[in-house]
Amino acid sequence: MKTLFRTRAGRWLSAAALLALSAPAMASTLNQNVSWTIDRAGTSTKYRVVAYGDSIFAGYNGSISNAARYSAPTVDAEYLSARWNADIESIRRAKSGAVARDVYENKIVAERSYMQAASTRVVSFEMCGNDGLQARSAFKSQTGTCDYSGLDAAINSCKTYVSAAMDYINANAHANTKLKVISNLYYPGYNADNVQSSCRDAGTGQTVNMRDRFLPAIAKMNYWMCEYARQKGFKCADSFAQYMGADYDSNGDGQIDSDALRYVAGETESSYITRTSVTLRPTLRDANTHFVSSSSSYDYIQSDDTHPTYTGGTVSAGLWGGSTGSGAPRYTSFTGGRSPIWNQYGHERMGWALSVYQPATP
């Protein structure tokens, strides 16, 4: 006989089903698709923005049945609604727990019809986070001699599928599309990783600091996300800089930390890695405490130490299927191009970072 469990929704599931769908952290995957329209007063004109990704764009919050209503792509849509004085349909096709190949094959390619609609004006995507998380987990469990090949494989997979995704979007997004954007990776668990490994380096015979090993790997992924964007006609929303650097000049170099950490178009991989992982490393901070001034901070990461914080409620998304809905914008205008909470939550910050590239007209 199957063992059954009653969920909060009153449905019954087998133990196997619960284990398969319990959480991205267990290397499972969960489709979390949402369509939410910013319904602006006084207009019936509607444009579409399409976002593909994993649990980040999904707005994952630990639930198998709901997700953040205002994850980053829908925050971006709210900004766009104000800029264009139009209704904006935010389509999020996301799969929590998915590695880059999965996002590419089963979201971007398999669900290309969403970006092929004539109303599409913006296409964005993010991936590679789960490649990195899985490689990190595998490395943490190692004993004996350290094997770094898993980290290298994650970097190479990220590069392969980011490049392929951009090529595919360029070939398949509707001709009316005005903007294509990728969001790169912040570093969840930055403080927690400041510990020694259980394995020992083959050359030195010593354990290695895990953050020392993971930071350059993330930097390589982030460099190629932004560099491929430059080469292939995309914009790069630098979430690493937005999350990991403070919004003031903490080291007295004349630059706001979050600005100084940003990818610089045309720089080499070596230059970017040295700048972000070595030169400016003293300015990096765990995004659980994102400083907006020298004396004020906000928490950008949920209690799972992985996913961005959010506000604005939840929508059905996950085990029981996706959801479609609409609502008035929370803010009808933005002074200086920023909402009053643009830097107070992780998803609000990422949504603003996506919005800075919006064209003036549809």
Structure confidence by residue, pLDDT tens digits, 114-141: 999 999 999 999 999 999 999 999 999 9
Q: What percent of the chain has pLDDT over 90?
A: 90
- Taking residue 139's Cβ as centre, other Cβ atoms within 10 Å add up to 23
CATH number for 4-241+269-279+313-355: choose from 3.40.50, 3.30.70, 3.30.565, 3.90.550: 3.40.50
pLDDT of 216 higher than 60: yes
Tell me the percentage of the chain whose pLDDT exceeds 70. 93
Mean pLDDT along residues 44-55: 97
Contact yes or no for 244/270 (Cβ under 8 A): no
Whether 7 shows a pLDDT value over 70: the answer reads no
**pLDDT exceeds 90 at position 12:** no
DSSP state, residue 246: -
> What is residue 246's predicted lDDT score, i.e. its pLDDT?
98
Interatomic CA distance for residues 77 and 61, integer angstroms: 20
Task: Compute the average pLDDT of residues 336-353.
Answer: 97
What is the spatial distance between Cα 49 and Cα 124, in angstroms, rounded to a whole number?
8
Per the CB < 8 A criterion, the answer to whether 347 and 298 are in contact is no
> In the predicted model, is pLDDT for residue 27 greater than 90?
no
Please tell me which residue, 33 or 24, carries the higher pLDDT value: 33
CA distance 212 to 131: 18
For 182, the 3-state DSSP assignment is strand
Q: Quickly state the pLDDT bin for 323 (edges 50, 70, 90).
A: confident
* Residues whose CB falls within 8 Å of the CB of residue 78, separated by 6 or more in sequence, listed in order: 38, 70, 88, 329, 330, 331, 339, 351
Binned at pLDDT 50, 70 and 90, residue 17 comes out as: very low
pLDDT digits (tens, 9 = 90+) for 144-174: 999 999 999 999 999 999 999 999 999 999 9
Bridge partner list, 209: 196
Helices 210-232 and 129-140 sit at what angle, rounded to 10 degrees?
Answer: 160
d(CA 314, CA 310): 9
Provide the residue ranges of all domains of the chain, joining segments of one domain with +: 4-241+269-279+313-355
The predicted model gives 17-21 an average pLDDT of 34
Which of 340, 234, 299, 314 lies closest to 58, judged by CA?
314
> Using an 8 Å Cβ cutoff, are 113 and 173 in contact?
no
Find all residues with CB under 8 Å of 315, minimum gap 6, and list them.
34, 36, 66, 67, 68, 69, 323, 325
Report the predicted TM-score, pTM, of the whole model to 2 decimal places.
0.92
Question: What is the pLDDT averaged over residues 69-97?
Answer: 98
| Structure confidence at residue 26 (pLDDT) | 38
The residue-averaged pLDDT of 167-183 equals 98
Cα end-to-end distance, the chain, whole Å = 58
| Under 8 Å between Cβ of 225 and 162 | yes
